[in-house]
Structure 1
Amino acid sequence: MKPYLAILIDSFWETVGNKVLWALLLGWSLLLLGLAPFGFISERNFLLSSADITDRGRLVESLAKATQGKGSLAVQAVASHLDEKFRQRLAQTLAGQDSQGQRRITARDLALALNGAIEADELYSDSAFPSAKRRQQTLLPLIEMPRQSMSADELQELNRHLLQLAFPLELRPSRGEQLWIGYAGFKIGEPLSFTRKQIKQFYEPVLLGMIIKLGLGVLAVFVAIVVTSPIIPDTFRSGSLHLLLSKPISRMWLYLFKFLGGCFFVCVNISFVLLGLFVIAGLRFEIWNTGLLACIPLLMFVFLIFYSISALVGLLWGNAIVSVVACLVFWLFCFALGFLHDALLPQVEVWPQIRRIRSIAGELLTVNEKGEFNVWNERFSIWQPALEAEGRRQARTYGPLYLAPQQTIVSKSFHRGSFGRLETSDRKLALIPLGKTREGDSAEPQQLADESPQTVAEARITPVWMSDVGPDLPQQLFNIVEFDDSLLAICRGGLYLLNSDKLELVQATQQGLWGLQLPWLSPSAFENIAPP
């Protein structure tokens, strides 16, 4: 056994003596030293940033009207503490003069202007904010506190909560703490738009996953392959082989111990990098994620797979360059196979899965994981599209819901954009009346075509019904539920109940007068029933 241990130790020192590997180790050390000064800078702060503006257009419109004495008293009170130049810009925007050389009011401009109101001494009044004293835990102690004894932070806290009462939908709720990414104690950019809890839940897995997959899973493993690729070809060259085989030993065991010797130092290298990242993430960002340490054996397993290809090719061809090229081709093949798997898996397996199912008026309705609204076709035994699809992207579909008095099915789909944001061309509900058809002589849901599909292929792409245009949904919607023979929209700004009496009026305004739509006459069918 001693000859094999000597071979193992010799291969380790051969790798240690490689200048490229030491250059790599030095590079990782410099990278870790460069990352060490990064960290979070936290301050108790109630001022606004551009990330706190959730609806810029609506906020500009409300403030512009408030400068002319319109709107709620709370909004007028906030507008009265804005800078005079900014008030003029709002007036020009309301008059439609912002396109004539006037710069567009951005979210950053709004945040800076509203920060002046947050720092104002006399923003609160009983008439402007009548519901403020009912907030006994947040606002009442601050309101009853004498102004002379209030600190600057307490004044900002009071005014920030008052701004939230004035603009519940246009501003994010106050966190009382602002986070910055800092470097050596200096703040970088604007405050972050998320909290420490959100970092722990959402951003930490994504960022660490990208670092492991791209930084270590690709770059570090590939460089390790380049460094260790000459070990097997150099071992089995004629001169080296005769020297090693001066004593009778097995070529197979020689190959395996040389292979393990190359893996040993790569394990030391990967462990050094991941331990450094673990310590930096814990000390500087308070992210003590033991998954980083669990990645050491995982990355070693990935390296073993690629190094086995490199060692085998080096044994057959005796060339380190050919070994590296073979590993690169193998990696490209695996990447293409994985990309194809990730691209097809949602469409073939995940999206067709049923998410919700219910029966309405004798029809079996479902919504799948893609957000498609389907109806069971008994003739062909397939799920047929219920409505004409607005697009082919993944969507979030609310419904199907049922208004029993009107005998109407209700639904609405929002497509998922970048970073999971919900997008749509309009916020109008889709209404499927069950009491009439296109000809108006049947009690079944209105069919899109005069003839039903004749083949399975036609049924898969032909929608069952046409829909009428319904009322606009409230902003910042969480969910829609059936409530007391009506619909209840749950939003961040309150609870909105559908007024069934206004439903036909809304549909009439959508059809317009002599073919012309009159949007300014369209009433809101959803009424806020939440207490102030």
Structure 2
Amino acid sequence: MNWRPYFAVVWDSFHAAMASRVLWAAMLAIWILLAMLAPIGVREDYTTTFRFFDVYNGTRMKAMLAQGMVDPKQEDAPLGRIAAAMPEELSRKLKRVGEGDEVRIPLPMLTDALNELIDQEFKLAKGNPDADGDSADAASDAADSRHWYDASAWEETVRLRELRELDEKPVEELSDSLVRRRARLRIEAALPGVFEARSARSVLLTYGTLDFPTGFEIDRTQFESLFNQFVIPTLVHWLLGFVLVFLGILVTASMIPDMLQTGSLHLLLSKPVSRPALLIAKFVGGCAFVFLCVAQLVIGLYLIAGMRLEIWNPRILWCIPVAVFLFAVFFSVSVPAGLKWRSPIISIAAAGALAAICLVFSIIAGVFDTRIVQPDRVAGLVRAGDDLLSVTNGGGLNRMDEEQSQWVPVIDGKAMSNDRVLRPVAIDADHVLTARIRNGKFNPFGSGSLDLIVLARDNDWKPQPGLRLPTATERLIPIGVTDKSGSGHTLAVNTADLLITHNRDILSSIGKKVEDDSDESNAEDNDGEDGRSPRGQSSNSIGAWLSTLVTMQGGATEEFVSILPRNVALSPPIRLAVPLSADQSSEGNSSESTGLLILNGSQLQLLEPDGDPTENVWQRNHTADLLRSDTPLPPVLAASDQFVIASTGDEVARLFDLSELEEIYAGDWPDEIAPLAIHAVADDLFFVVTTEGNGHLLSVIEREATEADDSTIQLQIISTLPVDDIETAMVEFAADSTSVQLIVAHNVDRISEFEISNQSGSWGLTLSRSIEPERSFWRNVDRYGIGLLELLTPQVLALGDTTAGMVSGKKAFIIGGGDMETGEVVRYGIATPIISCGVFIIAMMLLSCLYFARSDF
């Protein structure tokens, strides 16, 4: 077959596009845009100032500063010294808070005041170089009168290693940035549990030689992730996807009508070419125009990102074919319109109509997903006897009615709800614990009081208020043996503390009679040998007003006592795990282990009680340091009775021996999986849920050392679950310890149960049963109605996810860190939009070729 005529047609179409003034105007706009973006750069410096998004717990910070201002015992403590140095207006507000008034203090006001303290410390340390003469002396005297830092006072705080090293260095050896960094770390040490963990160094945007006058400070890894997953895809999706596509349609809309003119068409058909091939050649020639424009812009962005931002990511070049592919979708509609009506105006209108239809359908699908599907997604599971309960993204709690095969609401949820229901936990076969935090989805404190909710089988699982929970509780963890006598304990974890109570107290709060075989007098008479408060009292409680402040900070309540050692400060986000022997709650399990593992920042810590877990004498027995990571992946932690698997989110798995927390393996996750959550199944077996929604059984195996790798321990995937789009999972242990049940929620609210058994020394996975709950009417409309619309229309707007996935090299990203485990997972649909748009293009071009071949022009 002779291809030269077809190449000639393609070149003629490309040449015609090159003659368009719109093309040259678009190219000029691209060059101007690239010239404006070229001066943008970055520089890296120490993280020295506070921004409002650094504050994880604003209510706690407000209450702590108010306590430091009104509590006489805090006058010479770090908290009191910082509070005394607050600006006058903020001091008045804090005093009112300390007096019990409800005062709203914006976060920027608090962070600005802390930044002023950093400036004061810098001026004192550097001798106030910005002033001279009398003004310098006056400024120095004013600063001295309000100086907040005292080395002896800060000795009682929990200081990071970085701060200890900076405190040991003379100020003459510190740069200006390090002096400010040291002041920030001192404030963080005085206000534990308030700020999110931040990298020591941040990336600052510059324009030429000037810094951007904004508070845009994130670390290098976060900056690269933001650039690859949001900035570039947004530019491609909106700038290329709408502006250049629209310009491309304007330029190419006349190609087909011009070809159908009598002289032009007869000349083309006189050559040895077929009509379908001729039309396809014209189509390819039109796409070449957009390719020329897109290539200039994307290559320019790639070079700017590499030379100015130091992000050499060749995957950015994938934006070129994606943008051309997007144009081809609209051009495939313009072609048949031009064939039928021979009018450029109608060709443009047809492409515009397709864009409008796709936009409307995308909005409808988005509304259904947000208001119908997302509220039903299972976020947590718990088994109590034969009953299965789940918490949903919509702030509801449901119970599975297996006879009707449907979820029955226990606590009603609703779309777009700001309420948050804690993941339920079972303290025995007949009682489940949870809590509902009003307006707590984006604020750990929520609004109003926080009561423990107890669900009892004999009360038909209806919610009953129980004990008063510590403020800002984010997770409940059962610890120790649990049976109907009320033995065992429940741990409440909030943003800055670990607090524990007896399960018998929980059952008593709803009127259950349980045997009290423990000696509570010792606990109640304990005056806190370590200086901490006894049960039922708030630390430093000297009146109702101070007790209220401590409660606002998430302190002890009537029945919950703090077990966090003095030498440990929580730095959100954290991860906690209980070894298998303490986590198994079957009546046949007789283990009394109550150890608790905390992945706190970049340190793994093992806490163990000395005697009764509620006597407030927990000790930090072992620690292990992990390399700090600032990747967008969440940290994960799980513990069996032999091994601990931990990762700070840097795609490196670390395996520790539980007894001494000695690292015995560090390496990549098998098959390059990105873990989202991990559960211990047996001593040498773990279950991993990935960000892509897959589930794998991960085994710890021994191997022979090699010359390239002297490690004798390896992690290996031994089985993969035959389900995808996993929402959450739970592990249930049999009373005889012969098998393990793995319960998985997937595809919104479906349940699959697997049996994991060890046969002849190898683990086997068997599907026990699968439950597909009956969908509501609107869920069926979404599945069949909206699904049909998405099938019939090209998913052009979803190509933004395709671009983000290709550029970042990731298949999902995490938003937030709710429930102290994972935030909202957004999974990229990389292949589905390409298939949808590709099928649409092929269908439209086949119809166009068929019409062109059979019509008489």
TM-score, structure 2 as length reference: 0.51
Quick one: which of 474, 488, 492 aligns to 1:489? Answer: 492
Q: Does 1:111 align with 2:114?
A: yes
1:53-92 alignment runs, 5 A limit: 53-68=55-70, 70=72, 72=74, 73-82=77-86, 87=91, 90-91=94-95
Q: How has the CA–CA distance of structure 1 residues 379 and 150 changed in structure 2, closer, same or farther, with 3 Å as cutoff?
A: closer
Distance in 2 between residues matched to 1:520 and 1:98, nearest whole Å: 12
Structure 1 position 409 matched with structure 2 position 432: yes
- The code of the aligned residue for 1:410 comes to L
Q: How many angstroms apart in 2 are the aligned matches of 1:507 and 1:237?
A: 86
| Partner in structure 2 of residue 316 of structure 1 | 340
Q: 1:304 to 1:157 in 2, by over 3 A?
A: closer
User: CA distance change for structure 1 residues 28 and 445 in 2, over 3 Å: closer, same or farther?
Assistant: farther
How many percent identity over aligned positions? Answer: 24
| Paired residues of 2:44 and 2:204 also in contact (CA < 8 A) | yes
User: 2:290 — aligned with what?
Assistant: 266
- Alignment counterpart, residue 7 of structure 1, candidates 6, 9, 22: 9
Alignment of 1:36-435 (within 5 A): 36-68=38-70, 70=72, 72=74, 73-82=77-86, 87=91, 90-91=94-95, 94=98, 106-116=109-119, 118-119=121-122, 125=150, 127-132=152-157, 135=159, 137-146=161-170, 152-173=176-197, 175-192=199-216, 194-201=218-225, 204-245=228-269, 249-345=273-369, 352=376, 354-368=378-392, 370=394, 372-378=396-402, 380-389=404-413, 393=417, 397-404=421-428, 408-413=431-436, 424-426=446-448, 428-432=450-454, 434=456
Q: Is the 8 A contact 1:161 1:174 kept in 2?
A: no
For the 8 Å contact 2:419–2:437, the answer to whether it is kept is yes
Distance 2:417 2:299 in 1: 41
Instruction: Report the more deviating stretch, 340-349 or 187-196.
Output: 340-349
Residue 564 of structure 2 corresponds to which residue in structure 1?
Answer: 530
Q: Aligned in 2, Cα 1:328/1:298: closer, same or farther, shift over 3 Å? A: same
Aligned to 2:468: 471
How many angstroms apart in 2 are the aligned matches of 1:98 and 1:423?
A: 14
2:459 aligned residue: 446
Post-superposition Cα deviations, 1:83-110, rounded to whole Å, max 9, x if no partner, equal 56765665466569999xx999823542
Q: CA deviation at 1:253?
A: 3.7
Indicate how the Cα distance of structure 1 residues 397 and 431 shifts in structure 2: closer, same or farther if over 3 A, else same: closer
Question: For residues 381 and 263 of structure 1, do their structure 2 counterparts lie closer, same or farther at Cα, with a shift above 3 Å needed?
Answer: closer
8 Å CA contact 1:178, 1:191 repeated in 2: no
Secondary structure of the structure 2 residue equivalent to 1:191: coil
Q: Could you say if the C-alpha distance between residues 257 and 141 of structure 1 is closer, same or farther in structure 2, counting changes exceeding 3 Å?
A: closer
Return the TM-score normalized by structure 1: 0.78
**CA-CA distance at 1:3 after TM superposition:** 4.1
Contact 1:432 1:446 in 2 (8 A): no
Matched residue pairs, number? 492
> Which whole-Å deviations, capped at 9, do the CAs of 1:160-204 have from their partners, x for residues lacking one?
322112101233445333433322232223333532223344564
Q: Which moved more, 1:60-69 or 1:343-352?
A: 343-352
Moved more, 310-319 or 103-112: 103-112
C-alpha distance in 2, partners of 1:105/1:279?
A: 37
Change over 3 Å in CA distance of 1:428–1:506 after alignment to 2: farther
Shift of 1:319: 0.6
Shift of 1:261: 1.8
Relative to structure 1, the CA distance from residue 233 to residue 401 in structure 2 (aligned partners, 3 Å threshold; closer, same or farther) is same
Q: For 2:356, what is the secondary structure of its paired residue?
A: helix
1:317 CA displacement: 0.9
Aligned residue number for residue 598 of structure 2: none
SS at 2:80's partner residue?
helix
Report the equivalent of 2:623: none
Paired residue secondary structure (2:382): strand
Take 1:391 and 1:257, find their aligned partners in 2: how far apart are those partners? 50
What runs of 5+ residues in structure 2 fail to find an aligned partner? 126-146, 481-487, 512-535, 537-546, 567-857
Deviates more, 1:484-493 or 1:390-399: 390-399
Structure with larger Rg: 1
In structure 2, what is the equivalent of residue 440 of structure 1? none
Q: By how many angstroms is 1:375 displaced?
A: 1.1
| Larger fraction in helix | 1
Quote the Cα distance in structure 2 between the aligned partners of 1:289 and 1:23: 29
CA pair 202-18 structure 1, distance change in 2 beyond 3 A = closer
Q: Aligned AA for 1:78?
A: I
Query: Is the partner of 2:214 in helix, strand or coil?
Result: coil
CA deviation after TM superposition for structure 1 residue 126, in Å: 5.8
Q: Tell me if the contact between 1:40 and 1:179 (Cα under 8 Å) persists in the aligned partners.
A: yes
Deviation at 1:28, TM superposition (A): 1.2
**Cα-Cα RMSD:** 4.0
Partner residue of 1:441? none
Deviations 1:96-141 (A, max 9, x none): 9999xx9998235423333246435575546522335x75733333
Q: How many angstroms apart in 1 are the aligned matches of 2:300 and 2:164?
A: 48
In the aligned structure 2, how far is the partner of 1:193 from the partner of 1:413?
34
Moved more, 312-321 or 115-124: 115-124
Q: Give the 3-state SS of the residue equivalent to 1:260 in structure 2.
A: helix
Q: Separation in 2 of the partners of 1:489 and 1:277?
A: 49
- Aligned equivalents of 1:286, 1:136: Cα separation in 2: 30
Distance 1:105 1:330 in 2: 45
Q: Distance in 2 between matches of 1:494 and 1:348?
A: 36
What do the CA deviations read for 1:2-22 (whole angstroms, capped 9, x no partner)? 444433322221111111111
In structure 2, the CA distance between the partners of 1:205 and 1:376, relative to structure 1 (3 Å rule), is: same
After TM superposition, the structure 1 stretch with the greater mean CA deviation from structure 2, 176-185 or 216-225, is: 176-185
In the aligned structure 2, how far is the partner of 1:399 from the partner of 1:20? 57
